[in-house]
Amino acid sequence: MVMYFYPKDFTTGCTTETIAFSENYEGLTGLGAEVLGISSDSTDSHSGFAKKCNVGFPLLSDTGAKVRELYGVPSSLGLFPGRVTYVIDRQGVVRHLYSSQLNPKRHVAEAIEALKKLPG
């Protein structure tokens, strides 16, 4: 599983990141992964954002930031929801995480590199 938390639908960095995941979706699934994008935006917002970014995977609405809190996703500057990608193995163990607010395209590359290192 590749699960990425992003700050907000339709913002420049989040659009760049989500398009990168969308463009690499077949490669990620070819490595045995499913992809989930998560932000606190509404499901209505996600619907329009998914269309704009040509998303073929679920975008989950984490209203109240409960899932974000469970995974320990930090805020940037204490104000903005963080941008963190997790690679989780079949047993549910987090095998890799990448956190970078300013390099949204790197999240996909990090996920691919981590998936290639997982056994089986």
**Is residue 53 annotated as a catalytic residue, yes or no?**
no
Give the amino acid at 89. D
* Catalytic-labelled residue, pool 2, 3, 14, 87: 14
Closest by Cα among 88, 93, 83, 91 to 111: 88
The interaxial angle of helices 12-23 and 106-117, nearest 10 deg, is: 40
Active site residues: 14
